[in-house]
Amino acid sequence: MMSSKNTPTRTKILQASLELLEAGQGAEVRMSDIAKRAGISRQALYLHFATRTELLVETTLFVDDLKGADKRLAPSRAAKTGIERLEAFVEAWGGYMPEIYGVGRPMMAMMDTDEEAAKAWNQRMWDVREGCEAAIKALKADQTLSPVYSVNQATDLLWTLLSVRSWEQLTQQCGWSQKKYIKSMKTLAHNTFVVAGTNLSQGKSK
Amino acid sequence: MMSSKNTPTRTKILQASLELLEAGQGAEVRMSDIAKRAGISRQALYLHFATRTELLVETTLFVDDLKGADKRLAPSRAAKTGIERLEAFVEAWGGYMPEIYGVGRPMMAMMDTDEEAAKAWNQRMWDVREGCEAAIKALKADQTLSPVYSVNQATDLLWTLLSVRSWEQLTQQCGWSQKKYIKSMKTLAHNTFVVAGTNLSQGKSK
DNA sequence: CGCGTTACTTTACATGATGTCAAGTAAAAA
DNA sequence: TTTTTACTTGACATCATGTAAAGTAACGCG
Q: Distance (Å) from the C-alpha of residue B72 to the closest C-alpha of chain A?
A: 25
B155 touches strand D (CB under 7 A): no
Give kind and range of the element (H or E) at residue A24.
Answer: none
Do A130 and A174 fall into the same domain?
A: yes
Dihedrals phi, psi of B102, to nearest 5 degrees: -55, -45
Do B36 and B74 fall into the same domain?
A: no
Closest residue to C8 (CA, C1′): B44
Kindly state whether residue A131 falls inside one of the protein's structural domains.
yes
Are B166 and A170 within 8 A, CB to CB?
no
DSSP B155-170: HHHHHHHT-HHHHHII
Residue A1 is predicted with a pLDDT of 39
Do B75 and B125 fall into the same domain?
A: yes
Kindly state whether residue A55 falls inside one of the protein's structural domains.
no
Of A166, A168, A140, A164, residue with least CA distance to A153: A140
Of B155, B162, B150, B163, residue with least CA distance to B134: B155
Chain B neighbors of A156, CB-CB under 8 A = 170, 174, 176
B:116-155 Cβ neighbours of strand C under 7 Å: none
Kindly state whether residue A200 falls inside one of the protein's structural domains.
no
Kindly state whether residue B56 falls inside one of the protein's structural domains.
no
Name the nucleotide nearest B46; use CA and C1'. Answer: D18
Question: Hey, what long-range contacts does A14-23 have (CB within 8 A, 24 or more apart)?
Answer: A14/A55, A14/A58, A14/A59, A14/A62, A15/A62, A17/A55, A17/A56, A17/A59, A17/A62, A18/A59, A18/A62, A18/A63, A18/A66, A18/A102, A18/A103, A21/A59, A21/A102, A21/A103, A21/A105, A21/A106, A22/A102, A22/A103, A23/A102
Do A146 and A76 fall into the same domain?
A: yes
Do A12 and A74 fall into the same domain?
A: no
Residue B2 is predicted with a pLDDT of 40
Task: Give me the CATH number covering residue A69.
Answer: 1.10.357
Give the number of other Cβ atoms within 10 Å of residue B11's Cβ: 13
- Amino acid code (one letter) for B156: D
Task: Give me the CATH number covering residue B24.
Answer: 1.10.10.60
Do A18 and A70 fall into the same domain?
A: no
How buried is residue A152: exposed, middle or buried, by Cβ count under 10 Å (0-12/13-18/19+)?
A: exposed
Question: Nearest-CA residue of chain A relative to B188?
Answer: A192
Q: Distance (Å) from the C-alpha of residue B110 to the closest C-alpha of chain A?
A: 8
Give the residue-averaged pLDDT of B28-50. 95
Is B156 within 8 Å of B130 (Cβ atoms)?
no
Of A67, A197, B36, A89, residue with least CA distance to B44: B36
Q: Is the pLDDT of residue B30 over 50?
A: yes
- The partner residue sitting opposite B192, judged by closest CB among A112, A153, A192, is A192
Residue A69 is predicted with a pLDDT of 85
Q: Which distant-in-sequence residues (6+ apart) come within 8 Å of A137 by Cβ?
A: A82, A151
Residue A156 is predicted with a pLDDT of 98
Q: Residue ranges of chain A with pLDDT lower than 50?
A: 1-3, 202-206
Name the nucleotide nearest B28; use CA and C1'. Answer: D16
Residue A46 is predicted with a pLDDT of 97
Question: Nearest-CA residue of chain A relative to B196?
Answer: A196
B32 touches strand D (CB under 7 A): yes
Kindly state whether residue B43 falls inside one of the protein's structural domains.
yes
Chain B neighbors of A108, CB-CB under 8 A = 112
Residues B157 and B170: their CA atoms lie apart, in Å, by 17
- Amino acid code (one letter) for A75: P
Do B29 and B94 fall into the same domain?
A: no
Kindly state whether residue B205 falls inside one of the protein's structural domains.
no
Do A32 and A112 fall into the same domain?
A: no
Do A19 and A72 fall into the same domain?
A: no
Kindly state whether residue B59 falls inside one of the protein's structural domains.
no
Closest residue to C17 (CA, C1′): A30
Do A36 and A71 fall into the same domain?
A: no
Residue B4 is predicted with a pLDDT of 53
Confidence of residue B1 (pLDDT cuts 50, 70, 90): very low
Which of the pair, B68 or B171, is modelled with greater confidence?
Answer: B171
Residue B154 is predicted with a pLDDT of 98
Kindly state whether residue B136 falls inside one of the protein's structural domains.
yes
Do B182 and B127 fall into the same domain?
A: yes
> Structurally, how many domains does chain A consist of?
2
Do A79 and A13 fall into the same domain?
A: no
Q: Which distant-in-sequence residues (6+ apart) come within 8 Å of B13 by Cβ?
A: B34, B38, B40, B45, B48, B49, B55
Residue B74 is predicted with a pLDDT of 87
Dihedrals phi, psi of B65, to nearest 5 degrees: -60, -45
Distance A68 CA to D14 C1' (A): 40
Give the residue-averaged pLDDT of B32-39. 96
Q: Identify the domain containing residue A19 by its residue range.
A: 8-49
List protein-proximal bases of chain C (any atom < 7 A from a CB). Answer: 6-12, 17-22
